[in-house]
Structure 1
Amino acid sequence: METQERLRRIDPARLTAFQAELLRKEYSVGTAENYLRAVRAFARWSGGEVERGLVLTWKAQLTARYAPATVNAMLAGINRFFAFMGWPECKVKALRLQRRSFREAERELDREEYRTLVRTARTLGRERLALVMETICATGIRVGEVPYITVEAHRRGKAVVALKGKVRTILLPEKLCKKLLKYVKRQKITSGEVFLTGGGKRLSRVQIWAEMKRLCCAVGVAADKVFPHNLRHLFARTFYRACQDVVKLADILGHSSIETTRIYLLTTGTEHLRRLERLGLLC
């Protein structure tokens, strides 16, 4: 047992092999990055050593420092790595989360704040960022799906997204298609991806996230609210209020489970309290 424990180490070669396995199994780029980030964080903390006692101590420290959902995301990464390495005895249980009945209002991006972000981006001459935000918010796509917005897609009025072993069609609103058409003409993009860097490379999820964060300083919107996935949440809430069809919304968002979609539709604590007040159950 002692010899086996000495062999359990996290090194660059094993991380590279783990990354290759995630790509082979067609994990999304975002999920693979999150798993690798978690494994690297644990390796830095443990000095590369892997032993169940160390994993449990790390879990306890994470629990004291981060939100439960963040802890579970990090544990998912190292547990997947341990499974890949054939070290199941090192895996630890995720935290049990109580099902939430409302979300934190301070992290919810509302429609007016979104519009302010877009307007400010254009005022500052950041047309690409403005259009990326509009594209995510008007279609509900994930930030990792932005590369599927191509010249060919906006000409057809729809994008075919193939990720996580699933294929779905995203309809692009006519107004958005017109904006994309004007943009690609100005940028002299005749085919392929619409959103590219100045050097003609793919605009990464990290770049989009960073540009949105920098925009906060000029806008005055809380940085905790400004990140790409919150645009997807705003789309989901707006769509549901318009049609009240959670099944259709789940299809559009690419969710396999309606339970996942439900998380997007939670009301804020303020709204929840307002509903409780209206019950009239206090004498």
Structure 2
Amino acid sequence: MGGGAAGGRQRFGDVLRSEWAKARTMRSTWYTMLAIVVVGALFGALFAGAGAREYATATAAGRAEFDPFGMTFRALFFLQLIVGYLGMRTVTGEYGVRTLPAGLVAVPRRGRMLAAKAVVCSAMAFVAGEAAALAVYLTGRAVLTAQAVPAYDVGQPGVARAMVGVGILMATMSLFGLALGFLLRATSAGLTVLVVVTALIPAMAPVFPAWLASFVVKYWPAQAGGRLVSVREQPGLLAPWTGYAVFCGYVAVALLAAFAAFRRRDA
């Protein structure tokens, strides 16, 4: 009996276990997950330190508006890039060493393979994201309290939701990276697009026309999704879950495009 026929009857659980085996045996997977936590802790401390200095020189009104959680969790900007890379490398790593064609012999149903990769990379990103959230929370809080600056506590309104939201947001960002991997099939090209989408375009918003700047600040993928990890409501911006839903819409479109490209291309 041919391998394609056998692979055609392969259950999703079998494909999922295969993708997990591939992911956990790659050293780069664990290095990337460790980097997510370490970078989170480092930048959490740095941003908390910057917030403490800002608080020390602020007016009474400025101190009343000070958001210690939002300041510290600016570290997530860097984590999004690493998590996007994690999802991307799930695909581009196999394209780079030409192991994907062999995988398709065993699993000819490409949608099943894509779905299994999506489950594995999003699960890893969620775990790494929650570990990073804890690292940012602890290091940032330690820096703020050491300098007698009001900090945050998990019992405060919105903090617990934002902490859980970090893992959810990172898992979803990994799926965006996964989609870029299937669409572009090269790490360098995928990273370029990832940086442009998550960092460059939002950074350039101040020089855009007013209508475009408003759209980017409110509805651009990283900005909309980032609302999930905000504690305070901000006038003119989306509510946390609304923003995350908008982000999911972008990711869903990217995954559908990735699936269409993956189906029609040769491996």
**What TM-score do the two structures reach when normalised by structure 2?**
0.26
Q: Please state which structure has a larger fraction of its residues in helix.
A: 2
Task: Give the structure with higher Rg (CA).
Answer: 1
**What TM-score do the two structures reach when normalised by structure 1?**
0.25
